[in-house]
Homo-oligomer: A and B are copies of this chain.
């Protein structure tokens, strides 16, 4: 696959394994769509399916899985702590390879139109796909969940959907469709129990407080292990990568007299982020993706296909 879009729909069902299995089936019924993993959270009664597809089939796979969720999930019978307003609650498109943000926005808009037209589920666009600035932030769009939206959608113009009429689907609610960057979730563990240290380091390294661009960070306690963690999201690893985040945390930790014990990737990491980290630490002066055997094989395959 030379052009890849990732799609990470969140569903309001995290207890019935057979429902999740049927959602996966719906995605993979589309030629070219591949499920990379599922995350099922019974506590929040919520699940996430991660799939990739080329641009030409990602909208079809997304619409099919939203349709399947609408068939199988009834929000009126759903309970869970996590805020939600749809059976398929959030539908983010993520540019992964050979696809621009603009293209993903066009795909998200197309998916949104079809979700209303074919399924009668009203649609809100968020983040890079937002049509109103106050809808950039997912949490703002979802405020009050299905129950509040149901009472407000017909009367409060600020809650009118971006696509469709101002009424929720009786069982599937609404769907929030968007485009967000590929992000890497990355935690660094410190040899202290002092949460205030992790919080100070998080503040020192994150963009919001004048640290590294494209880096979000929070301090957390891992009670079971008796240590604390700086938990980070890298929202543009091409600009701020794992090694910059790691080095920034390490420097700050050193200043505070604590040590970095380990780090961990949560979820998936694109290979380019690991290659760049290796090149940095090894001081590789001639690194290019073209040096990697597997990349060279893939390029030769593409070339031969094209002949």
- Return 11 A-B CB contacts under 8 Å, by A number: A35-B300, A52-B300, A243-B282, A264-B284, A264-B286, A265-B284, A268-B296, A270-B293, A271-B271, A271-B292, A277-B281
Contact in complex: B297, A283 (CB < 8 Å)? no
Find chain B residues with CB under 8 A from A284 CB: 262-265
Do the beta carbons of A263 and B282 come within 8 Å of each other? yes
* Contact between chains at A291 and B265 (CB < 8 Å): yes
Chain B residues lying within 8 Å of A271, measured Cβ to Cβ, are: 271, 275, 292-295
Query: Which residues 254-307 in A have Cβ within 8 Å of B in the complex?
Result: 260-265, 267-271, 274-275, 277-279, 281-287, 291-297, 300-301, 304
Query: Once the chains bind, are B1 and A297 in contact (CB under 8 Å)?
Result: yes
The CA of A52 and the CA of B299, in the complex, are separated in Å by: 12
Q: Which of A34, A270, A271, A282 has the most CB of B within 10 A?
A: A282
Distance (Å) between the CB of A79 and the closest chain B CB?
32
| Contacts from A to B (Cβ < 8 Å) | 1, 4, 28, 34-37, 52, 96, 189, 242-243, 246, 260-265, 267-271, 274-275, 277-279, 281-287, 291-297, 300-301, 304
- Chain B contacts of A294 at CB under 8 A? 270-271
Per the bound structure, the CA–CA distance linking A287 and B242 in Å amounts to 13
Q: Is the CB of A37 within 8 A of B296?
A: yes
B243 touches A265 (CB 8 A): no
B293 contacts A268, C-beta separation under 8 Å: yes
In the complex, are the beta carbons of B286 and A242 less than 8 A apart?
no
**Known contacts A275-B274, A278-B275; is A287 also within 8 Å of B300 by CB?**
no
9 smallest beta-carbon distances between A and B, as pairs? A281-B281, A34-B300, A262-B285, A277-B278, A274-B278, A278-B278, A268-B293, A264-B286, A36-B296
Contact in complex: B274, A262 (CB < 8 Å): no
CB neighbours (8 Å) of A296 from chain B are 36-37, 268
Could you say which residues of chain B place their CB within 8 Å of the CB of A301?
A: 1, 34
A235–chain B nearest beta-carbon distance, Å: 16
Bound-state CA distance A264–B275 (Å) is: 14
Q: Measured between C-beta atoms, what is the minimum distance from A180 to chain B in Å?
A: 15
* A133 CB to nearest B CB, Å: 31
Which residues on the B side are within 8 Å of A262 (C-beta)?
A: 283-285
Partner of A36, one of B34, B275, B282, B297: B297
Contact partners of A283 in chain B: CB under 8 A: 246, 260-263
By the criterion CB–CB under 8 Å, are B304 and A34 in contact?
yes
Q: Complex formed: what's the CA distance from A63 to B206 in Å?
A: 59
Given contacts A264-B286, A265-B286, 16 further A-B contacts (CB under 8 A): A1-B301, A4-B297, A34-B297, A35-B300, A243-B278, A243-B282, A261-B283, A262-B283, A263-B285, A265-B291, A267-B291, A269-B292, A270-B293, A271-B271, A277-B278, A277-B282
